[in-house]
Amino acid sequence: MQIYNTLTRTKEEFKPIQPPHVGMYVCGPTVYGDAHLGHARPAITFDLLYRYLMHLGYKVRYVRNITDVGHLEHDADEGEDKIQKKARLEQLEPMEVVQYYLNRYHHDMEQLNVLPPSIEPHASGHIIEQIEFIKKILDAGFAYISEGSVYFDVRKYNEKYHYGKLSGRNIDELYETTRELDGQSEKHCSLDFALWKKASPEHIMHWPSPWSEGFPGWHLECSTMGTKYLGETFDIHGGGMDLMFPHHECEIAQSCAALGHDTVHYWMHNNMITIEGKKMGKSYNNFITLEQFFTGTHPLLTKPFSPMTIRFFILMAHYRSTVDFSSEALEAAEKGLARLKEAYSHLMKLKAGTASTIQTQGLRDKCEEAMADDLNSPIVLAHLFESAKAINTLFDGKAQISEADLKELREVWQLFAIDLLGLRLQEEGEQGGQEQAYHGAVDMLLEMRLNAKRQKDWATSDMIRNRLTELGFNIKDTKDGFEWSL
């Protein structure tokens, strides 16, 4: 693995930095609506990879972009910009739409315990770089200008490189499946895609360029921002499987055309989510947003499901398998998560005995092996459930564990369940514990005040009362002592 230190901006100044550095780019959301399950799965999959690489000792630069321009309604080069359309319908400034949904996206990600990436670049903040990238493709002869727009010349590209190599397609088959151009099109060929689009008069998001007042094509932002922040070659590029074609295929073509070589060492795609066996789609009315899951406000849901239940459910499947969501499946996941939480809480309460009379060793190796095997989160969970049984036996007093084994067991649970799988197992217990500590501390202060009063130490008694009142506490002396509220 080799990535470049892009802290210095110009290409000449790029300095290769050696492992343990890893560059990772993941296609982020187009922010024109609330995040749904289709957003949760890649976010959690690549969060798992990010956490795992850091656990292995890599210093990871994780770039996840925000698409805020150029993603047209029909994914190809037609239709209205998704953000502009939302802005028009809601009578907002396009960047208001972006900010609104981005804030909500971040909130949802935090709820799912998805760590923020190292860099979150916006497409609209990289127009200059995208124009420069187009110039390189034009100079290399793999693009053409037509009516103020610039299109990538797929046929020409395919003469030198292989268009379709990532998704296993070939150009002849692709021609057969795409419709013929009607002769009115600006494109030479139906497979060509826009690098720059001239803005129509009603299009409000546009920038000056050498070719027209317009906006960049959707695929271009990832080629541009990936190479800007991670260098001309970098390690990992990820995203949902639905992005493999044409988005990632176009990205490869753009980068090879501009730079003369591939940029990405490893492509990684998470599989799709279906809802009750159906693809998510407008026609099925099954786009359940994350907030609807958390509040239970969608007709397909029987009840609310916590963010951790959603995370756990997604991790129960390997990222390359499909996942089918239903209320019943989520209820089962909720029970499974409750079992893990209970075992974890028991584990924290266990007292060590003189020697172990139950087998708890080997868990670390088994979990490491599963993670190293293509992030096999369901196997890690299976090992944790196996371990939960032993913990419950110990908790019931039917076996003993030595101090060293107990310490190891706690460390392994912390590492795999909490740090790597990112499950908040201690959440409720911890909150309850904080609450308890807070009540205990206030009670203790008021007891000290009562003692001071009994000893006629009015200065101390008044000081405690006044300070607590200043902090917003209501203190009432009663026959038996005191009462307080905030």
CB of 222 to Zn ion, least distance (A): 3
As a whole number of angstroms, the distance between CA 160 and CA 33 comes to: 40
How many residues of this chain interact with Zn ion, rule: CB under 5 A?
2
Stretch that binds Zn ion, among 11-19, 150-158, 216-224, 378-386 (CB under 5 A): 216-224
Site string for Zn ion, 167-206 (x = CB under 5 A): ----------------------------------------
Stretch that binds Zn ion, among 21-29, 53-61, 152-160, 224-232 (CB under 5 A): 21-29
CA 127 to chain centre: 25
CB of 27 to Zn ion, least distance (A): 3
Stretch 81-120 residues interacting with Zn ion (CB under 5 A)? none
Stretch that binds Zn ion, among 11-19, 219-227, 386-394, 416-424 (CB under 5 A): 219-227
- Cβ contact 210:131 at 8 Å: yes
CB of 334 to Zn ion, least distance (A): 33
Closer CB to Zn ion, 262 or 419, in the complex: 262
Phi-psi region of 210 (alpha: psi -120 to 50; beta: other; left: phi over 0): alpha
At residue 187, what is the residue type?
K
Could you tell me the two tokens for 194? 């826009």
Helices (H), 80-201: 82-90, 94-111, 127-139, 154-160, 171-177
Closer CB to Zn ion, 194 or 222, in the complex: 222
**Tell me, what DSSP letter sits at residue 6?**
T
Q: Applying CB under 5 A, which of residues 43, 222, 310, 367 lies at the interface with Zn ion? A: 222
What is the DSSP track for 24-92?
EEE---B-SS--BHHHHHHHHHHHHHHHHHHHTT-EEEEEE-BB-S--BTTSSS-S-BHHHHHHHHHT-
Question: Interface with Zn ion includes 250 (CB under 5 A)?
Answer: no
CB of 227 to Zn ion, least distance (A): 12
As a whole number of angstroms, the distance between CA 72 and CA 76 comes to: 7
Q: Applying CB under 5 A, which of residues 27, 138, 230, 394 lies at the interface with Zn ion? A: 27
Give 70: exposed, middle or buried? Use CB within 10 Å, 0-12, 13-18, 19+.
buried
Stretch 343-362 residues interacting with Zn ion (CB under 5 A)? none
List interacting residues with Zn ion (CB under 5 A): 27, 222
